[in-house]
Structure 1
Amino acid sequence: MRLSARAVSGAVATGLATVLLATTASAAPGPGAPGLGDPYYPGAGNGGYDVAHYDIRVTYQPGTDRLAGTTTILATTTQQLSRFNLDFGLHVDSVRVNNVPARFAKDPDDFTELVVTPRQRLAKNQFMTVVVRYADTPSKITIDGYQAWKKTPTGALAVDQPTIAEWWYPSNDHPTDKATFDVSAEVPDDAVALSNGTLARKTKHRKGWTRWSWRSTSPQATYLAFLVVGDYEVLESQTPDGQPFITAYDPLLGDRLPAAKASIERSPEVVEFLEELLGPYPFEAQGGIATTGLGFALENQTRSVYDGGFFRAGTNMSVVVHENAHQWFGDSVALGAWSDIWLNEGFASYAEFLWSEHAGEGTADELAEYVYDSYPADDEFWQVLPGDPGPENQFHPAVYDRAALAVHALRKTVGDETFFALLRTWLEDKKGSHGTTAEFVALAERMSGQQLDGLFEEWLFTAGKPAQSPNGASTAARLAAVSEPASYAEIQLTHRQLAAGR
């Protein structure tokens, strides 16, 4: 996702003329940037416009893995535009901008960059409608050596992180450009199509096919929009406060199916617990999907998806707590850059500690102490910096466990009253938007009245094992043996384990 050599050379050739014109007239419309400059994925997202809504309408045939669709994007320009990019990997048939056919082409240096040139240049702050028609076989598309679309025996899983949109809909693919979504998927009658938000309707327009239409009314990051198609048992009910609660289970889970249901069906209970600590649940629906062939769990907005491996030993409330905590940390408040991943994973992992304490299976102090002692000082674990792990270590155990210890150290330093007030304030101030590490640290210092640079530097940005545990006790001052909390076996089976090797 970068400028082509031709575009760069053209810019050099016309540079002098541009400078001269700028002294006498306002800048002419130019291309939107092909990326937003994320420190880990510089080509992710695009410049020049802000998306308000995606309407994704697809037809999917599980037997052939053929996906055909039309995505309508409602956006507003943020500069004068001669052209702009969309992030997309499938074959495109046509593009229209404001109802007029537009020229389009894949960037020769990066085929996931769809370069769109409207017939008329666009003014700054202009509303635009972009309609993209496409058809392809997603399982045949590899991007940067990676295949995110997962073909299953009865359908497919469009579920992944940090990116999945390129395999099924065109977008401005970065968490900082959130939008609302309508997702409508037509599939054969013997399959279901599951996505985020509420199920608006199911309709039939031709024999043998059913269209499932889903609506997400809260701002949502592009990677959190998902599509699951296949043979699933779908359960529809309501939470105690009246929200739609939709869950689904793959029959191929076999003997893990009861444990999956016994865990995921308790999601509303988990949400109620988290609301007491974090404030009101930020979305309009709840649910979860247990599947096979995924290898990890992901906090898709309103409806997390879990691999059946989490339930191989019985119920696993830790992973359900983890993914539901992400509805606040990661979904409602997205990361400002992918280097801020600890703001998602550290707090979701720490929520497991809090649930363990609530369930009487080990206090947060005990779990933090146990995790700290579980990794020897010479373990590679302590060399990964949760505050800036690098793209190669984005899902390393340290981003989960060490970041959770950082959260616990913060709690012990500022005290419970300030700590939980800080979490609620952060989540309320940033609701529906995104935040950065620097912003969180500044808020923590303002609310606590303490200088916290040293704490965050030690736990998030310094290689090596901190001299003191997050409870603030040196090794010599602690008990010689710390008993293993009952729930720690579950914590070790969170999605960082199953995601290893992705």
Structure 2
Amino acid sequence: MRTPPTHLRRTTRAALAAATALGIALTAVPAAGATGLKDPYFPDDGNSGYDVAHYDVHIGYDPARADHLDGDTTVTARATHTLDRFALDLKGFEVASVTVNGIPARSFSRSGEHKLVVEPAHRVAKGATFAVRVKYAGKPDAEGWHVLSSGGANAAGEPHSATSWYPSNDHPSDKATFALTATVPDGWTAIGNGLPGPTTTEGGRTTFRWHEDRPMATYLSTVAIDRFTVHRSQLADGTPVITAYGPDVPVDAPTEALQNDILGFLVSKFGPYPFSSAGAIVVGWSTGPHARALDLETQSRPTYTGGLFDVAVVHENAHQWFGDSVSFSDWRDGCLAECFAQYANQLWEEHKGANLDTGFYAPLIKENKDNPAYWSTKLYDPGKGKELDPALYFKGSLMLHALRRTVGDDAFFNTLRSWTSSHAYGNASFPEFEALAAKVSGKDLKGFFDAWAHGTTIPPKQYLYPGGLAALADQ
């Protein structure tokens, strides 16, 4: 339940409370974290004043009661400003209690669609590490929490899903390690990110534990609860591979075996696999008014709907490098994930014998050269509502092939490996990638990126048919 402030001793504090009630960002208020990081596309997402280091998420869920989740989450963070109050992102639920460093908060209240505003009993000093524990219960929000046709459930969604099941600083720029403890009735299994911990059973309920020890953007966190069939193998370097199949999806042994080969291929192109585990969570269809099929690059263990297919396995696992390990700075940078993951599918086809110049690039250019709409979306900063526009996938993969032909294979793949190495487990922007590509290749690429990434028309001929592609210009 909501707990109102018990005592406001200063008029400034009363003003703060009034501002919070009206959903006003607190950016100008001393000793307070602002609600909303002012992302160009999602300005209310995230919160300033602190940097999360770790999430410890405990949930209890019974599939027989699909509209209810019990949660107990501790967020450990470092204060980047002195804090008399701060906010977390959480949609729905009734919040029973909030403590800061083990002491009940002076107050907590809800603001806007997804803000939980907390006033700690004691000011948090700049530079201090503090732990916020939130106990909550209720119906998970359907934007990120999906009830499955099998009776199970899973959490997945982009750009938002975390706020549907635990309090967080919900913006990709604030990555943190993650631990999950999920308690479900006996006979059900909970799968999460990273490596499994001990499983315990008591009183007809089983508790599963998972931990992801590399920083993770909140939308990449997941839990899936079902009567899973779980297979285990390992990559050539010993990395454990855990693949879970829901009861209503086919167990695809050939594609599961191919999954390891695909990961080995991606390692050869992008550098060492970035996480401590790999695999897949294969679920059935979701139900209800928000039902949708969703494949998503949930960190270390992508989520697939309906089955395991090689095209999706390549794409979602390429994201482990591009989007997961190296995450974007804000939602203008979606090409850093989708352009590269889509081009990974082309690289896999090339690995199997395809000629990308004549079998991929030239036909798509020919098909769309007289279609202005195909070229009208910018790849960097495509616009609010277009953060995951199809152009990032299709025009984006063409751009990367044109870049490869512009700089040559050595410079192109050295750029990719340098990118994944120098920004591993952090955040970066597309302009930073442009600068790196120019540095590695030793070429002036401003005209190329202006035409391909920042332009809204078909690129001029010198950028559309660079290098070895020139012979295709008149075909």
After superposition, the Cα gap between the structure-2 partners of 1:394 and 1:85, relative to the gap in structure 1 and judged at 3 Å, is: same
Structure 1 residue 276: deviation in Å? 1.1
Tell me whether 1:371 sits opposite 2:364 in the alignment: yes
Tell me whether 1:331 sits opposite 2:327 in the alignment: no
2:81 aligned counterpart, secondary structure = coil
Tell me whether 1:250 sits opposite 2:246 in the alignment: yes
Match of 1:225?
A: 221
Structure 1 residue 396: deviation in Å? 2.2
Match of 1:135?
A: 137
1:425 aligned counterpart, secondary structure = helix
C-alpha separation between the residues in 2 aligned to 1:167 and 1:104?
A: 22
Contact 1:87 1:173 in 2 (8 A): yes
Structure 1 letter corresponding to 2:281: I
C-alpha separation between the residues in 1 aligned to 2:303 and 2:21?
A: 46
2:371 aligned counterpart, secondary structure = coil
TM-score scaled by length of structure 1:
0.84
Structure 1 residue 120: deviation in Å? 0.6
Tell me whether 1:56 sits opposite 2:52 in the alignment: no
1:266 aligned counterpart, secondary structure = helix
Contact 1:186 1:209 in 2 (8 A): yes
Aligned partner (choices 101, 104, 108) of residue 101 of structure 1: 104
After superposition, the Cα gap between the structure-2 partners of 1:186 and 1:364, relative to the gap in structure 1 and judged at 3 Å, is: farther
Match of 2:175?
A: 178
C-alpha separation between the residues in 2 aligned to 1:364 and 1:325?
A: 21
Structure 1 letter corresponding to 2:202: H
Match of 1:278?
A: 270
C-alpha separation between the residues in 1 aligned to 2:21 and 2:109?
A: 18
Contact 1:197 1:303 in 2 (8 A): yes
Match of 1:496?
A: none
Deviations 1:61-107 (A, max 9, x none): 11112210211111110011110000001321110001100044444
Structure 1 residue 480: deviation in Å? 7.2
C-alpha separation between the residues in 2 aligned to 1:380 and 1:262?
A: 39
> Counterparts in 2 of 1:25-174, with a 5 A limit?
29-65=30-66, 66-89=68-91, 90-108=93-111, 110-138=112-140, 141=141, 147-153=143-149, 154-174=151-171
Identical-pair percentage: 39
Contact 1:95 1:101 in 2 (8 A): yes
Aligned partner (choices 455, 472, 475) of residue 478 of structure 1: 472
Structure 1 residue 4: deviation in Å? 8.8
C-alpha separation between the residues in 1 aligned to 2:189 and 2:21?
A: 50
Aligned partner (choices 318, 333, 337) of residue 340 of structure 1: 333
Which stretch of structure 1 is more off in the superposition, 414-423 or 462-471?
A: 462-471
Deviations 1:336-391 (A, max 9, x none): 11110001001111111111111114436632223323335225222222212223
Contact 1:53 1:180 in 2 (8 A): yes
1:82 aligned counterpart, secondary structure = coil
C-alpha separation between the residues in 2 aligned to 1:231 and 1:268?
A: 24
Contact 1:368 1:471 in 2 (8 A): no
C-alpha separation between the residues in 1 aligned to 2:20 and 2:169?
A: 22
Structure 1 residue 261: deviation in Å? 4.0
1:252 aligned counterpart, secondary structure = coil
C-alpha separation between the residues in 2 aligned to 1:365 and 1:201?
A: 52
Aligned partner (choices 332, 342, 347) of residue 349 of structure 1: 342
Which stretch of structure 1 is more off in the superposition, 316-325 or 214-223?
A: 316-325
C-alpha separation between the residues in 2 aligned to 1:282 and 1:474?
A: 33
Unaligned runs of 5+ in 1: 19-27, 482-502
Q: CA RMSD in A?
A: 2.7
1:413 aligned counterpart, secondary structure = helix
Deviations 1:134-159 (A, max 9, x none): 11111xx36xxxx2321113111201
Contact 1:104 1:114 in 2 (8 A): no
> Counterparts in 2 of 1:461-472, with a 5 A limit?
461-468=454-461, 470-472=464-466
TM-score scaled by length of structure 2:
0.89
Tell me whether 1:380 sits opposite 2:392 in the alignment: no
Structure 2 letter corresponding to 1:472: P
C-alpha separation between the residues in 1 aligned to 2:17 and 2:380?
A: 34
Unaligned runs of 5+ in 2: 1-14, 286-291
1:269 aligned counterpart, secondary structure = helix
Match of 1:214?
A: 210
Match of 1:263?
A: 255
Contact 1:412 1:470 in 2 (8 A): no
Deviations 1:36-84 (A, max 9, x none): 1211111111100111111111101111122102111111100111100
Contact 2:147 2:153 in 1 (8 A): yes
Tell me whether 1:399 sits opposite 2:395 in the alignment: no
After superposition, the Cα gap between the structure-2 partners of 1:432 and 1:442, relative to the gap in structure 1 and judged at 3 Å, is: same
